[in-house]
Structure 1
Amino acid sequence: MPTVPDEVHIGLERTLRLFQAVAQILSSYTLPFNLLIHLLTLSTEKPPSPASTHVILLALRQRFALARRFLRLFRFLESFSAAQKLYLSAASTAAEGPGDSKAPPRLGDTGIDAEVWLDIFGRTFNGMYLLLEASTIVDALEIDGLAVWAPETGRRVSVEAQRFWLFALVCGVLAGLARIIKVLAHAPVPSTGEGYLRGTAGENGEVAGAVPEGKDQEGKAEAEKDLKNQERASQWHVAEEKQKTRELSWREAQAKVRGLTCSVMANALDIALPGTAVGWLDLETGTVGVAMFITSILTGWDVWERCGREVSGMR
């Protein structure tokens, strides 16, 4: 029996997040809310009450958030496992080290790149956020007499969970920026200009491999001409292959930078959510909803694309 890929659950969570963001935007801004009321008036016989519609939007926002929490209830296990695997892999690679390196390791140098450490810390912080959030799932049901934490304690746990999420997002932004800088630093720039693909002559303008003076002048000129043509064709071919390789590497680097830039933007915008929850940012609910809407599209599209590739591979 085929199993459902993990990307499907993540994609569903992203989709519900998008719906939650829409409900939050509609309930926070007057213009979108009035437009919704107008559309509902056109589609129904009885005009809806703005007050009841606003209450419905707030309830939908809460229900979407609760449904998302159930979808990621045990995701903290994945985050902790990913952090452990990443650390063990990085430590193993650093222990082996480059074979031709004879320089002694510096004091305190673990051999693990900074962006890898940021990934490890980011996944650990994200695991702590998901773990603390999972511990308050029973309280979020709001059933009388059923609670794990006292009301005040539950609120503090939720705030600390958001703080860990904020740390995870900051680590994600810094790791993404470090990777962008590294990709751009090592990316070859395609050479341009007329002379790039031309053959190069030897010293004094002579082509390597010229015929010695022992032959007759006519045969010598013909042989030199053939050698020049062969030399130029060979140099042209080599230069053309080098240019193709450089252009291909540059396109790959550009694709990596675009992907990393989207990830950095999504993490940076997502900081608005936990930053507001812990009180470090003073943003309106509608502004947070807009940030959530944008990041849901940025991250959700990539998730569904990966899900499609996995499903196609299972057939």
Structure 2
Amino acid sequence: MNNFEPHEMLTQGILSSYTLPFNLLIHLLTLSTEKPPSPASTHVILLALRQRFALARRFLRLFRFLESFSAAQKLYLSTASTAAEGPGGSKVPRRLGGPDIDAEVWLDIFGRTFNGMYLLLEASTIVDALEIDGLAVWAPQTGRRVSVEAQRFWLFALVCGLLAGLARIVKVLAYAPVPSAGEDYSRGMVDESREIAGAMPADEGREGKAETEKDLKNQEPASLRQVVEQRRKALEMGRRERQAKVRGLTCSVMASALDIALPGTAVGWLDLETGTVGVAMFITSILTGWDVWERCGREVSGTR
């Protein structure tokens, strides 16, 4: 089994299963050159170009496994070092699987660890990917097996990311505050005004008491509207924040779910056409790029 790359599968799947982009490229090349190239030669050139780009990308992420392992270790240490209150005010370290540790935290730790294993195994086959005679780390059959195991670790990492995203979405929706009814504010304001009016001395007479009640009644609608408006703004702001968070988590979950198609097919757990996998990777690229674009927009707007 070949050591598939995400963008290799994207290019190969779309070009081999969907001929429209390939035919369009041939037509553009025909317009730009005097002699129209043959489809076979153009396809060979594109495949060679794809391999060069894939190899360049692998060199760029050659030591990325160190970042993944470091992130997993930092997350684990920060979780384990956070102590909980024990009997007598003593500090008790958190235990693995304890009820005070969220499940998505462990999913993040395992996901980053699996991703580090994927990148490490992939880095071990980069010398073989150069295809230089007499220069290889693994035997051909062993190299293919290592590549498959790398894809398997990537699949585990994607599943952990998918489950962690779903858990966070459920938590955001489950802990959404329930808005209070406006009658509670109205009832509280009326009761307060009655208490103030009833606490006046009796020697001031009915006229003074009536004037006080009239003033309180005039102030009540304005105060009530102000309290209700503040509460409404707070609820609206919280609702928008939850919607933005759920939208971002949903995009991440969808991207992870679509990414599973590539390693799942590489290890033989999914039976998908090459073109289907290529389209899935194309959609994933759009979702990931859109998430990065929105995050940059929030950072820029926050600095203003």
TM-score (norm. length: structure 2)? 0.84
Aligned AA (2:144): R
Aligned-partner Cα distance in 1 for 2:272–2:167: 28
Residue of structure 2 aligned with 1:69, choices 52, 58, 83: 58
Please tell me whether the aligned partners of residues 189 and 246 of structure 1 are also in contact (alpha carbons under 8 angstroms).
no
Structure 1 vs Structure 2: percent identity of aligned residues? 78
Structure 2 counterpart SS, 1:292: helix
Structure 2 counterpart SS, 1:96: strand
User: What residue is the counterpart of 1:43 in the other structure?
Assistant: 32
Aligned-partner Cα distance in 2 for 1:42–1:127: 46
Structure 2 counterpart SS, 1:239: helix
Structure 2, unaligned stretches of length 5 or more? none
1:266 counterpart = 2:255: yes
User: What residue is the counterpart of 2:122 in the other structure?
Assistant: 133
User: What residue is the counterpart of 2:46 in the other structure?
Assistant: 57
- Return closer, same or farther for 1:138/1:113 CA change in 2, 3 Å cut-off: same
- Return closer, same or farther for 1:244/1:278 CA change in 2, 3 Å cut-off: same
Q: CA deviation at 1:230?
A: 2.5
Aligned CA-pair RMSD: 3.4
User: What residue is the counterpart of 2:68 in the other structure?
Assistant: 79
Structure 1, unaligned stretches of length 5 or more? 1-15
User: What residue is the counterpart of 2:15 in the other structure?
Assistant: 26
Please tell me whether the aligned partners of residues 199 and 236 of structure 1 are also in contact (alpha carbons under 8 angstroms).
no
Aligned AA (1:210): A
Structure 1 counterpart SS, 2:254: helix
Aligned AA (1:120): I
Q: CA deviation at 1:223?
A: 1.3
- Return closer, same or farther for 1:249/1:50 CA change in 2, 3 Å cut-off: same
- Return closer, same or farther for 1:221/1:100 CA change in 2, 3 Å cut-off: farther
Aligned AA (1:148): V
Q: CA deviation at 1:60?
A: 2.4
Please tell me whether the aligned partners of residues 190 and 250 of structure 1 are also in contact (alpha carbons under 8 angstroms).
no
Aligned-partner Cα distance in 1 for 2:86–2:251: 32
Aligned AA (2:32): S
User: What residue is the counterpart of 1:10 in the other structure?
Assistant: none
- Return closer, same or farther for 1:106/1:130 CA change in 2, 3 Å cut-off: closer
Q: CA deviation at 1:242?
A: 1.9
User: What residue is the counterpart of 2:155 in the other structure?
Assistant: 166
Deviation string, structure 1 residues 41-81 (Cα, Å, up to 9, x no partner) = 22222112111112222222222221211111100000000
User: What residue is the counterpart of 2:276 in the other structure?
Assistant: 287
Aligned-partner Cα distance in 2 for 1:249–1:178: 20
1:88 counterpart = 2:77: yes
- Per mean C-alpha deviation after superposition, the further-off stretch among 217-226 and 167-176 is 217-226
Aligned-partner Cα distance in 1 for 2:133–2:85: 59
Aligned-partner Cα distance in 2 for 1:303–1:98: 42
Please tell me whether the aligned partners of residues 165 and 253 of structure 2 are also in contact (alpha carbons under 8 angstroms).
yes
Please tell me whether the aligned partners of residues 166 and 275 of structure 1 are also in contact (alpha carbons under 8 angstroms).
yes
Aligned-partner Cα distance in 1 for 2:211–2:295: 61
Aligned-partner Cα distance in 2 for 1:245–1:311: 24
Please tell me whether the aligned partners of residues 125 and 164 of structure 1 are also in contact (alpha carbons under 8 angstroms).
yes
Aligned-partner Cα distance in 1 for 2:298–2:193: 56
Aligned-partner Cα distance in 1 for 2:118–2:209: 81
Structure 2 counterpart SS, 1:210: helix
Aligned AA (1:119): D
- Per mean C-alpha deviation after superposition, the further-off stretch among 210-219 and 138-147 is 210-219
Q: How does 1:1-315 map to 2 (within 5 A)?
A: 21-22=10-11, 24-93=13-82, 95-97=83-85, 109=98, 111-189=100-178, 198=186, 200=188, 202=190, 207-211=194-198, 212=200, 214-303=203-292
Please tell me whether the aligned partners of residues 9 and 277 of structure 2 are also in contact (alpha carbons under 8 angstroms).
no
Aligned-partner Cα distance in 2 for 1:22–1:40: 18
